[in-house]
Structure 1
Amino acid sequence: MNQIPYSPGLHKLVTLEVAKLDTLTSSQDFITFSEGLLLKYELEKVGISVHDFDNDSFTIAICLKESHICIHTWPEFQQLTLDVYLCNYLQDNTQKVKDITADYITYFEAVVLKDFEINR
């Protein structure tokens, strides 16, 4: 029996440097932008968890039917970490993960400090 190889999905992890501090302190703007991405890429949100810290940084986890998008910001260091993972249950979402990550990099007008791709 010849079995077809299966990859559960691509998981991108990036650390970004951001000069525009308002994007690192406005969780609501990030949510609004993310909602647009979910529509653009036809992703289904299952839930969202948001925490705003005293220093105006934030952490957000968007749980998707396809997996998740998570962010943690550090305005005091002009940085954020972002992770985007979509599983390949019904289709190969590899390019979609790369495109979503690129859209976030553009949104933040960021410089990429670290960029990891993990094929699950």
Structure 2
Amino acid sequence: MKGLHLTADLYQCRCDAVWLTDARKLGSWCREAVQAVGLQAVDELFHTFPATATGAGGVTATVLLAESHICVHTWPEQKAVTCDVYVCNFSGDHSAKARGLMYALVNRFQPEWTEQRSLDRGDES
């Protein structure tokens, strides 16, 4: 079950607000980004949360991959996003594809700053 788990917390995102509030638009872009790096989408779920007193509702976009998953959560009132990319490396090393996908996600939202983490998962044997 060897794999790579990448996370990014994005702050003060400078992208157009629609990327933080439109699940359909963000989901479509996520599918294209997954395909562009050579990963295989097998299912998806995109949800826009209702507006609150602080503004438009955020979005959760999840793409289930043959290699594992990506998940994006947005907080438009804070111009913040969290991204999660996990690939198992059972059938081959998908680490470079995961890093490419995370790079694309970060660039999509144009944050002023990020906190990124990388975790090698599973047994090395």
TM-score, L = length of structure 1: 0.86
Out of 4, 7, 13, the residue aligned to residue 10 of structure 1 is 4
Q: CA offsets, 1:47-85, max 9 Å, x none?
A: 112221112311122111110000111001110101001
AA partner of residue 14 (structure 2): A
Structure 2 unaligned spans of 5+: 52-56
Deviation at 1:37, TM superposition (A): 1.6
Q: CA offsets, 1:9-40, max 9 Å, x none?
A: 11001001212322111212211211212221
- Residue 19 (1) aligns with residue 14 (2): yes
Match of 2:80 in 1: 79
Match of 1:3 in 2: none
CA distance in 1, matches of 2:4, 2:113: 18
Corresponding pairs, count: 114
- Secondary structure in 2 aligned to 1:69? strand
CA distance in 2, matches of 1:14, 1:45: 21
CA distance in 1, matches of 2:113, 2:26: 18
Whether the 8 Å CA contact 2:70–2:84 is kept in 1: the answer is yes
- Structure 1 window deviating more from structure 2 (41-50 vs 86-95): it is 41-50
Deviation at 1:111, TM superposition (A): 3.2
- Secondary structure in 2 aligned to 1:32? helix
Give the 4+ runs in structure 1 shifted more than 3 A.
none
Q: CA offsets, 1:87-118, max 9 Å, x none?
A: 11121111111111001111112234311101
Structure 1 unaligned spans of 5+: 1-6
- Secondary structure in 2 aligned to 1:118? strand
- Secondary structure in 2 aligned to 1:89? coil
- Residue 93 (1) aligns with residue 94 (2): yes
